Amino acid sequence: MLFDRDGTLVHDVPYNGDPDRVRPFDGAREALDRLRAAGLRLGVVTNQSGLARGHFTAADLARVNARIEELLGPFDTWQVCPHDEPAADAEVPAGCRCRKPAPGLVIDAARALGTVPGRCVVVGDIGRDMTAAGAAGAAGVLVPTPVTRPEEIAAAPSVAGDLRGAVDLILRRQRLVGGARAGGRTRPRRVLVARPDSAGDVLVTGPAIRAVAAGADRVVMLCGPRGRAAAELLPGVDEIVEWSLPWIDPDPAAVDREQVGRLTDRLAATGVQEAVLFTSFHQSALPLALVLRMAGVRRIAAISDDYPGSLLDVRHRVPLGIPEPERALSLAAAAGFALPDGDEPVLRLRIGPGPAARPYVVVHPGSSVPARACPPARCEQIVRALAGAGHRVLVTGGPGERELCARVAGTAGIDLGGRTALPDLVRIIAGAGALVVGNTGPAHIAAAVGTPVVSLFAPTVSFGQWGPYRVPWVRLGDAAAPCRHTRATTCPVTGHPCLSKVEPDSVVDAVRLIGVPAGAPVAGAG
Q: Which residues are catalytic?
A: 4, 6
Other C-beta atoms within 10 Å of 215: how many?
Answer: 20
Q: Rounded to whole angstroms, what are the CA distances from 17 to 3, 56, 61, 72?
A: 19, 5, 6, 18
Length, in residues, of the chain: 526
Q: How far apart are the first and last CA of the chain?
A: 45
What's the DSSP call for residue 521? -
**For residues 205 and 279, what is the distance between their CA atoms, to the nearest angstrom?**
9
Contact assessment for residue 167 and residue 322, using Cβ atoms and an 8 Å cutoff: no
Of 286, 283, 290, 206, the C-alpha closest to 252 is: 283
Chain CA centroid to CA 214, Å: 24
Q: Where do runs of H (alpha helix) occur along 461-500? A: 463-466, 497-500
Neighbour count for residue 294 (Cβ, 10 Å): 15
> What string of DSSP letters covers 82-96?
-PPPPPTT-SS-TT-
Question: Which residue intervals of 351-438 are DSSP H helices?
Answer: 376-388, 402-409, 422-430
Q: How far apart are CA 218 and CA 400, in angstroms?
A: 36
Contact 20, 14 (CB under 8 A): no
Enumerate helices (H) and strands (E) in the chain, giving the number of each: 20, 17
Task: Judge residue 399's burial from the number of C-beta atoms within 10 Å of its C-beta, 0-12 exposed, 13-18 middle, 19 or more buried.
Answer: exposed
3-state SS track over 249-309: CCCCCCCCHHHHHHHHHHHHHCCCCEEEECCCCCCCCHHHHHHHHHCCCCEEEEECCCCCC
Residues 164 and 147: beta-carbon distance below 8 Å:
no
d(CA 240, CA 237): 7
